[in-house]
Chains A and B, each alone.
Chain A
C-alpha cells in the first residue's frame, strides 16, 4: 500500500506542476475534508452497531451464532481462540446480511485476536482480510438505488451475475490463501 500511495501521489503532484499547480492544494484539501465527513458518519454508524453487538454478546446470542458457524470457521481459521471465532462469526454474518459497516468494527477486533505479536500477518489474519476484501455482501443496495435514480427500468437485473461474481471471487480468494499458506507456511517466516 505504501508504494502505491507514493507512486500515485508523486505522479499526481508532478502532473500538477506541469499543468496547473493550484489544483494540488485544493484537491488534497477536498480529499481530506471528504475523509472527515466520512469519519463523522462512520462514528455514528459504528456507535450504533458496536452498541448493538455489545448487547448481542451480553445476552448470549453472539455465542450462539459462533456455535452455528463453528464448522465453517474452524475450517477457515485453524487454531484460532473461541473469542476470536466469536468476532469472526459476527463479522461474517454482518457482511452476509449486507451490513458492511457493522462488520468493520467486528473485523478489527477479530484481527486483533487472530494476530500474534509479530509484525507480519499469519494465515488466519490473511484469511479474514481476503474474505472481507472479496466482499461477502449479497445485496448491493447502494448500486441498486443509484441505478434506479438514473432511470433504470429494472434496477436489480444484474443481481444474479453479481452474486455469482461475489461468491466466485470469495471462493477463489479462500482457495488461494489455503494454497499459498502451504507454500509459505507461518512457521518459516521471518517476523
Chain B
C-alpha cells in the first residue's frame, strides 16, 4: 500500500507541471542542487555525533551506564533489557537500529520485549540529531527548553505505549 505513495506523488506533480506548461526538468535540477550545500552544512554534526556514539558503545560504557539506570526504567514499566535502546535512540539512528537488531536476535521479535522494542524505536525519533540538523543552517543556536520537552514527551509516549502493549 505504502509503495504507491511515492510514484503517485511524483506523477501528480509531473502532470500538474505539464498542465501548467512549466519546465519540470530545470526546476528539479534547481532543487537538487541545494542537496550538496545542505549536506556540507549538516555533515560536521553527523560525523561528530556518530564518532562519539561509536566509541561510547565500543568501550562498553554504554552498556555499563544502561545497567546502572535500568531499575529506573523498570519502575516506569519499561523492560530493563531495553535501557540501552532507550538511551541511544535519541542520539543515533544507526546505533540504536543495531541495538534493536540485537534485541530481536536475543529475545525474539514476538516476545513482549521484542514488541516493546519495536514500539520504542517506531514511535520515537533521533531527537538530538533532528535538532542539530534543523538548526545547522540557521542563526539560531540555543534551543532553550526544546530538548528536555522533546525527550520527556517521547519517554511518556513510550511508557504509555508499552503499557498498552500489555493489554492489546
Contacts and interface: CB of A to CB of B under 8 A. Distances in A.
A132 B109 contact: no
Kindly name the residue among A4, A16, A119, A165 whose own CB sees the greatest number of chain B CB atoms within 10 A: A165
Interface of A: 1, 4-5, 8-9, 11-13, 15-16, 19-20, 23-24, 26-28, 30-32, 34-36, 38-39, 42-43, 46-48, 50-56, 58-61, 97-100, 104-105, 107-109, 111-112, 115-122, 125-126, 128-130, 132-135, 137, 139-144, 146-147, 150-155, 157-166, 168-170, 172-173, 176-177, 180, 184, 189
A120 B32 CA distance: 30
Interface in B30-64: 30-32, 34-36, 38-39, 41-43, 46-61
28 contacts: A16-B55, A31-B52, A35-B51, A38-B46, A46-B34, A50-B34, A50-B35, A51-B27, A58-B27, A104-B130, A108-B133, A109-B137, A121-B140, A125-B135, A125-B140, A130-B153, A133-B147, A134-B125, A134-B157, A137-B125, A150-B109, A158-B165, A160-B164, A161-B162, A165-B123, A166-B122, A176-B152, A184-B144
Given A47-B32, A59-B22, A61-B13, A1 B46 contact: no
A146 B100 contact: yes
A108 B38 contact: yes
Given A32-B50, A133-B154, A146-B100, A38 B55 contact: no
A165 B160 contact: yes
B76 interface: no
Closest 3 CB pairs of A and B: A54-B31, A169-B157, A31-B54
B161 A165 contact: yes
Given A98-B2, A161-B119, A13 B55 contact: yes
A32 B50 CA distance: 6
A147 B42 CA distance: 30
Q: What DSSP secondary structure best describes chain B's contact surface?
A: helix
A117 B55 CA distance: 36
A52 B9 contact: yes
Contacts of A153: 110
Nearest to A148: B109
Contacts of A137: 122, 125
Contacts of A184: 144-145
B81 interface: no
Nearest to B117: A143
A129 B100 contact: no
Interface string B15-26: 011001010100
Contacts of A108: 38, 41-42, 133-134, 136-138
Contacts of B121: 140, 142-143
A134 B122 CA distance: 11
Nearest to B164: A161
B94 interface: yes
A169 B124 contact: yes
Contact of B134 (A15, A47, A111, A150): A111
